[in-house]
Amino acid sequence: MSKKKAQARAEKRAKQKAAYQRRKRPDRMLVSAMMLFFFTAFLLISVQGEIHVDGLALAVVVPLMLYIATMWIPRFFPADKLLLAIANFLCALGVLILYTTDRGAGTSRGMQQAMYYGVGIVAMAVCIFLVRYIRNWDFLIKVVMLGAAALMVLPLAIGTEQNGATNWIVIGGTSLQPSEVVKIALLLVLGWYMGRQRFWPWFLFAVFCLLVLMLQKDLGTALIYYTTTLFLFFASTGNLPLTGLGALGGCGAAVVGYKMFAHVKKRVAIWRNPWIYYETSGYQIVQALMAIASGGMFGVGLGLGAPRVIPVYFTDAIFAVICEQFGIIFGILVLAMYVILILRGASIAMSARHSFHAIVAMGATVMLGVQTFVIIGGVLKLIPLTGVTMPFVSYGGTSLVSCMGLIGLIQGVSSVNQDDLSYDYEISRSLQETAMLPKADWEVD
């Protein structure tokens, strides 16, 4: 009887030790810290003055969505949880910042962004399963090309102009930017045809997209498309002379765009010296720089400051709002998250064994990296400010869903990589076990 009791105690201690190790897993600790951060932040901002029920709801819903996207969805496939954690932290941060700026403004961008975040999680899951389970894209890629081409030309027919570019359509009272959705289609087309060394299909599709974007005067998105395509061409072929020629062609197109479009000339002039145009077109960038400076190292506090004095602060200049409320140190940490995300994506792409997966993952990583540099570089006055959004953070349903779809592509490739490693391990172990068998057991007479 004492032996059975001792065995029961040993089993109990083993279970307690296993439960403790599960609680101390780094991924659980990281996600728990993020959930606590956003729960506390939404709770504090929603009880300032009078109690706001929508803020209390977000204090529960946003951490829950973060947990689902980072810990629950990966139960169905191998996952890179650090990649998921960073992307979802940035999405939740966008919801938080937008909600704080809604206070007293009569807007509901924070609640809308939370809904877009939920749709983005679904889009991410769909992209993961597409990359993970579809092996033959030959027919589907043609459907993707036709659908993407139709989406691209829609703004030319029924589009509305915003900030000098005609790249939006309104469906059922909701504004959509088709070029954001086509980003995913572009990567799939480039990955499929570049991986099979078929030049003309991807080249004609990319040229078509760029020409449509030029007609729409959406030069920021055109820059992202062109840079991504050129980088993937070099990654898939290693042809340095043609890549250099393409880079020169891009510089030439930039000069042509500068001479053709008045709003491009204005943005370059503002970039060179925004203080001359402070009371007119330079007001936005000056106010963004002043907001960053006023935040100092540690910020003025959550929900404080004057973000609404910055024109279009919720899309173009949301990084300045982050720095104003949380401080420059926090802003640097946000930049570090983007750097880690890009390095993680590049590592996943380089570990892929299939050319299609490698090109898709690298393209999604480059696209997110270029977009991040373009918008944050513009806010910091490193380059002329363009109308692109800050990935995951800026207000906008199409942009958020598109960025989460790009993460889904990278994560899908990561899960395939881990399956390949598991397969290699099983084969290696099987061979080792076979080699250890006595010769008479497996030798064929």
What tens digit of pLDDT does each residue of 361-381 get?
Answer: 999 999 999 999 999 999 999
**Going edge to edge, which strands form the sheet with 174-176?**
160-162, 165-171, 174-176
> How many angstroms separate the CA atoms of 205 and 431, rounded?
46
Closest Cα partner for 180 from 165, 200, 202, 201?
Answer: 165
Q: Which two tokens stand for residue 226?
A: 């062109």
Are 330 and 302 contacting, i.e. CB atoms less than 8 angstroms apart?
A: no
> How many angstroms separate the CA atoms of 78 and 211, rounded?
39
Look-up of token digits 């209390």: 56
Look-up of token digits 């007293």: 104
| DSSP state string for 136-157 | --HHHHHHHHHHHHHHHHHHHH
> How many angstroms separate the CA atoms of 159 and 176, rounded?
10
393-418 per-position pLDDT tens digit: 999 899 999 999 999 999 999 999 99
Helices within 216-354 (DSSP H only)? 219-237, 240-260, 262-272, 283-295, 318-326, 328-351
Report the chain's terminal Cα–Cα distance, integer Å: 54
List of residues 6+ apart from 371 with CB closer than 8 A: 224, 388, 389, 390, 391
**Average pLDDT of the chain to the nearest whole number:** 89
Q: What is the largest CA-CA distance in the chain?
A: 93
Are 304 and 50 contacting, i.e. CB atoms less than 8 angstroms apart?
A: no
Measured in whole angstroms, how far is the alpha carbon of residue 97 from the centre of its chain?
A: 17
Look-up of token digits 């397969």: 423
13-52 per-position pLDDT tens digit: 666 555 555 555 788 889 999 999 999 999 999 988 788 8
186-236 per-position pLDDT tens digit: 999 999 999 999 999 999 999 999 999 988 888 889 999 999 999 999 999
